[in-house]
A = this chain, B = another copy of it.
Amino acid sequence: MLQQFEILKKAGLSVTESRKTILDLFFAAQGALAHADIEKHSSINIDRVTVYRTLQTFVESGIIHQIPTTDNTILYALCKDSCEAGHHHDEHVHFICTTCNKTNCLDDVMVPTVKLPNGFLPIQTAMIVKGTCIDCKSPHPQPFPQR
């Protein structure tokens, strides 16, 4: 896996402290992060506005991808090395555990294609499964993020 430095370089971004720190959080995190997780993380001291701008930049650069939710938040998770600006490769299923509230990328579960009515032209498909995750069926203590 690439180092933060390389990831930023490869994306053509300046290598700044904020960006490295936020990338570190994603590497350390179990599962996806919301803006609030980052902003409120104990060891972090980055302005809200910078967090907003960093997340946006990372999405546009193919470093992280977004996961849609029904609670007025957006979740973000690291992309595979193969993602590029404007051209993501993240058509895997996302799993939201309703017990521990963690969201996992199921990298090995591809989103199936589905036949649409005539005239609908698909470009990108997201699939979000809610349920109980493997950790919550046979539980053990959980690290960051705590929600």
- Could you mark each residue 105-138 of chain A with 1 if its beta carbon is under 8 Å from any beta carbon of chain B, else 0? 0101101101111111111111111111110011
Number of copies: 2
**Cβ–Cβ < 8 Å partners of A127 in chain B:** 111, 114, 125-128
User: Once the chains are docked, how many angstroms separate the CA of A108 from the CA of B95?
Assistant: 24
User: Once the chains are docked, how many angstroms separate the CA of A7 from the CA of B134?
Assistant: 39
* A66 close to chain B: CB less than 8 A: yes
| B109 adjacent to A123 (CB under 8 Å) | no
User: Once the chains are docked, how many angstroms separate the CA of A130 from the CA of B72?
Assistant: 19
Interface residues of A (CB under 8 A from B): 66-74, 93, 95, 98, 106, 108-109, 111-112, 114-134, 137-138
